[in-house]
Structure 1
Amino acid sequence: MSIIYYHYNASEIRSGILHIGVGNFHRAHQQFYTNILLNDEDQKNWGICGVCLLPSDEKIVKNLRAQNLNYSLTVYGRNGEDEVYKIGSLKELIWGVEDPEAVVRKIADSSIKIITLTITEGGYNLDKESGKFILNDEKIQHDLNKPAIPATVFGFVAEGLRQRKMQGGDGVTILSCDNLQHNGNTAKRAFMAFIEAQDKDLAEWVEVHVTFPNSMVDRITPATTAEDIERLNKQNGTNDYAPVYCEDFAQWVIEDNFISGRPAWERVGVEFTDDVTAFENMKLSLLNASHTLLSYPAFLMGYRKVDQAMEDRDLVKFIRDFMDKDITPFVPAPENTDLEKYKETLIERFANHSVSDQVSRLCFDGVSKFPVYIIPNLDKMIKTGADLTRPAFLIASYRHYLKYKTDDQGNVFEIGEPWLTENDKQFVNSEEPQEFLELSAFKGVLLKDSEQFIKLYSRFVEEIKDAGTASVLQSIIK
């Protein structure tokens, strides 16, 4: 186990980036790249000011402040070679619940050139059916009145940009780091819809002075439990209240559209491109879709860790068949990318025992994940007459997971679906399986119009209930 310390003088670092959502992925990904880059003498203005906006962020804020915002990142190699990085790139940390005015002032500060976001797929407040911004949300309505203390990320950013405009400040780039297709376009649609409804003059300024590049991010980063903290500290000889661990693979591809400059991230492995589409299609359709495909069947079969599930040969074949037969025909590889090697690497990454991701994390918020990871390619499969066995089994498993909340062994569990609507809940509770296909997560495709899908799905619903998930999976992979 090698420990890698940063070599820059932390007192010389200045914040040029403001990041909203200081979770584990951000601290294992963007902070990782930036921490290495800050060792270069000409990059010292690209430290990161973290912003947390939720009451539930209190613990992470207090823990990081207790150790001068430094923390350890343990990178577990697939070859058994592990590294521990001391991360010091988090220069400031503001908790909006405690000091909302400080958040607004920092967004308005001309030294901030980039605002980055990890607010999750559901955080952009877009209707899953229409794709439109949900203006009638209670907190959004509150923020449209320009309150002194905003309630949403949209209210905070709009107020900060309004003050930046009034002060004659430079433009800024808003860079989404969330797992969304065309995440920059999504961020622009959401923020512009809010700002146009709140302040037409500001909206005109934003159109000229704010850019929203798309990006593709990739690094498996599990949640850190209390047991993980104890294990990491013992292993690393540290006393870290907020450690993070992740796999050794990392990728970040960004469209090079930064209105007020950017860090030289390309020096530390970040790829810049004119169009990120091919990269994000590959990642979302293979890695994220395969994670979703694995999640519900594996959880129902009793697996709680991804690496343990990957010891099941049936699940591995299920995933590999999905990659090869269902996804590859519709996903062109980006230039200079070996797609076969990429898929082989994905299987290795999922099976990394040292990372040991939670299956429950993959199951969380499926209603937001299906429209992004599964539905686009499923729509293509239906239109081209492809075999729908695997996606039909997945959706039947998802219904069983939501409706019965019991796995094959009879273990009862709680589900994590913060964005289920009241209509969704009625479809889940219905005894008629086809009503489940009206779920908001599936609005992008007419599943009921596919005779093949309905036949397979209906069969799997009954077989999972009667024989269990594992038995049905075995019949699929033969």
Structure 2
Amino acid sequence: MTVKLSKATLQQLPQNVGVPRYDQSDLKAGIIHFGIGNFHRAHQAVYLDELFNAGTDHEWGIVGAGVLASDETMRQKLREQDWLTTVVEQDSGHRTAHVTSSMIDYLKPGEAANTITRLADPEIRIVSLTITEGGYFIDPASGVFNPEHPAIVADAANIKDPKTVFGLILAGLIRRRSDGTAPFTVMSCDNIPGNGHVTSDAVSGLAALVDPSFADWIKANVAFPNSMVDRITPATTDRERNLLATDFGVEDNWPVFCEPFKQWVLEDHFPTGRPALEKVGVTFVRDVAPYELMKIRILNGGHAAIAYPAALMDIHFVHEAMEEPLIRDFLIKLESEEIIPVLPPVPNMPFDDYFALIVRRFSNPKIGDTIQRLCQDGSNRQPKFILPTTADRLKAGKGITGLSLVSALWCRFCAGTTDSGKPTNYLDASEERLRVEALKAKDDPKAFLAMNDIFGDVGTSPVFVESFSSILRTLWDKGARETLKLYQFNKL
């Protein structure tokens, strides 16, 4: 027998399910968060739940917000259970479940006036975001905000009724300045290098289209702290819902399954205040860049490296990919020989120890993370997680065989079939374009590299072009498995 999750049933849940030690009704709204997806509910919302459980900082409750149709779907599912979420942490040794209650409301997407009013509320002192790498309107190759994007142009023309996250944030700041209210801090929690700077560029870039003087005011008065966030959090399917019901007796519309590990490194720049997150394990630093670069290059770059050979070999789960010696050895060789050697040092963080932790996390058989998830959004992830390392090594005159292999594997994957002929189903804003260019690249590898918005200067490097082209031909001739063998024995 299962218990349907809600505030009314919290005390009826089985004893092996943790419940909040605070009353949700005692929380006050202090944060508006855009992007109430699985990662946010397994990360920021969990840290705040732990803080609230400690009996402190109850003025920092979360109000959800969004702009997409999928945001309304999530809102309805969570509304049915009073904004509660069951978080299941698991690895090979244990599985635990606890209910978080740190979110107290969720603004209806599409109702801009109501969202702007809440953003203007003086009690809201932080606006945070997890809108994915592709949500920032930036050019993939350069990382520069694109003010000519149609959605940005539309918001600039009608800032009183904006449709994008950044239009809403800007409209909220305009209202607060008019009201004489101090601006909120804008805190990105997305996996983007310099995510605070990128967010600042988006907000001030849009503001420049509306009123250049207000863009200057934003740059002078609004804080955009950089952060590094980390927790492997797969998508929720009926598999996870059924596991929760069977193992814990809880019926949750949208539970979150994740690994036990979590990390948050954050620049301490919050002019109007912040919750005391250091009490629950958040690391506050003056400069997050070294931590962020380490994570993006080693972890996110590692995910990108194993995703496409695993997909081409018809492997479903990430831990299954790590059980395949060819993929595991590929990752270890790539990281140790090409990625880690060009990273600047990080205080109190030996790279060998960090990478060993990453290998253990990727190998977790309980998390259920899928190769398909890692393959998504490659046109945004490759320029952020792989190609910068390639550029660094090219500049230093160092070898790039393994990194070229990563890019060639992605190209081969984008052609639309695995080595066995099965379709490669994936999500990418440039999916059709990628497929067309990847198929052209079978005969002319330079066709794929001609996508300058993705490859930038790397795509014109004679060294990279030659390496990529040779490896791509080998992938088409011999397949991923044999190509990985050649790489392992230094024969590519």
TM-score, normalised with respect to structure 2: 0.92
Quote how far apart the aligned CAs of 1:137 are: 2.2
CA contact (8 A) 2:78 2:253 kept: yes
Q: Which amino acid aligns with 2:104?
A: K
CA separation in 2, counterparts of 1:315 and 1:359? 12
Quote how far apart the aligned CAs of 1:363 are: 0.8
Q: Count residues in correspondence.
A: 473
CA contact (8 A) 1:294 1:319 kept: yes
Instruction: Write the deviation string for residues 240-291 of structure 1: whole angstroms up to 9, x where unpaired.
Output: 1110010011000000001100000000000000000110111001000010
Correspondent of 2:69 among 51, 55, 61 = 55
- The equivalent of 2:304 in structure 1 is 292
Correspondent of 1:83 among 96, 107, 129 = 96
Instruction: Write the deviation string for residues 74-133 of structure 1: whole angstroms up to 9, x where unpaired.
Output: 01134x122212100011111222x32221111111101101001111111012344432
- The equivalent of 1:460 in structure 2 is 471
- The equivalent of 1:413 in structure 2 is 424
CA contact (8 A) 1:216 1:253 kept: yes
CA separation in 1, counterparts of 2:473 and 2:87? 45
Q: Which amino acid aligns with 2:472?
A: V
Q: Which amino acid aligns with 1:415?
A: Y
- The equivalent of 2:33 in structure 1 is 19
CA contact (8 A) 1:195 1:203 kept: yes
- The equivalent of 1:261 in structure 2 is 273
Quote how far apart the aligned CAs of 1:230 are: 1.6
- The equivalent of 1:36 in structure 2 is 50
Quote how far apart the aligned CAs of 1:421 are: 8.6
- The equivalent of 2:347 in structure 1 is 335
- The equivalent of 1:6 in structure 2 is 20
Q: Which amino acid aligns with 2:478?
A: A
CA separation in 1, counterparts of 2:487 and 2:83? 50
Instruction: Write the deviation string for residues 215-249 of structure 1: whole angstroms up to 9, x where unpaired.
Output: 00000000011222122222221011110010011
- The equivalent of 1:280 in structure 2 is 292
Distance change in 2, residues 1:100/1:462 (3 Å): same
CA separation in 2, counterparts of 1:358 and 1:118? 20
- The equivalent of 2:12 in structure 1 is none
Structure 2 SS opposite 1:446: helix
CA contact (8 A) 2:297 2:339 kept: yes
Distance change in 2, residues 1:440/1:4 (3 Å): farther
CA contact (8 A) 2:139 2:453 kept: no
Structure 1 SS opposite 2:287: coil
Q: Which amino acid aligns with 1:165?
A: R
2:330 is the counterpart of 1:318: yes
Identity %: 33
Correspondent of 1:46 among 40, 43, 60 = 60
Structure 2 residues not aligned, in runs of 5+? 1-14
- The equivalent of 2:438 in structure 1 is 428
CA separation in 1, counterparts of 2:276 and 2:256? 24
Distance change in 2, residues 1:171/1:421 (3 Å): farther
Structure 1 residues not aligned, in runs of 5+? none
2:389 is the counterpart of 1:377: yes
CA separation in 1, counterparts of 2:340 and 2:89? 29
Correspondent of 1:270 among 269, 282, 299 = 282
Quote how far apart the aligned CAs of 1:42 are: 3.5
Quote how far apart the aligned CAs of 1:163 are: 1.0
CA separation in 2, counterparts of 1:441 and 1:135? 15
Structure 1 SS opposite 2:161: coil
Correspondent of 1:216 among 221, 228, 234 = 228
- The equivalent of 1:94 in structure 2 is 107
CA contact (8 A) 1:146 1:159 kept: no
Q: Which amino acid aligns with 1:355?
A: I
2:475 is the counterpart of 1:439: no
CA separation in 2, counterparts of 1:189 and 1:421? 29
| 1:97-246 mapped onto 2 (5 Å cutoff) | 97=110, 99-246=111-258
- The equivalent of 1:473 in structure 2 is 484
Distance change in 2, residues 1:419/1:413 (3 Å): closer
Quote how far apart the aligned CAs of 1:447 are: 3.6
CA separation in 2, counterparts of 1:224 and 1:377? 32
Instruction: Write the deviation string for residues 357-377 of structure 1: whole angstroms up to 9, x where unpaired.
Output: 111111111110111111111
Structure 2 SS opposite 1:211: coil
Q: Which amino acid aligns with 2:348?
A: N
CA separation in 2, counterparts of 1:321 and 1:228? 34
Structure 2 SS opposite 1:189: helix
| 1:340-351 mapped onto 2 (5 Å cutoff) | 340-351=352-363
CA separation in 2, counterparts of 1:245 and 1:377? 31
CA contact (8 A) 1:28 1:244 kept: yes
TM-score, normalised with respect to structure 1: 0.95
Instruction: Write the deviation string for residues 292-312 of structure 1: whole angstroms up to 9, x where unpaired.
Output: 011111100111210111110
Q: Which amino acid aligns with 1:368?
A: N
Q: Which amino acid aligns with 2:307?
A: S
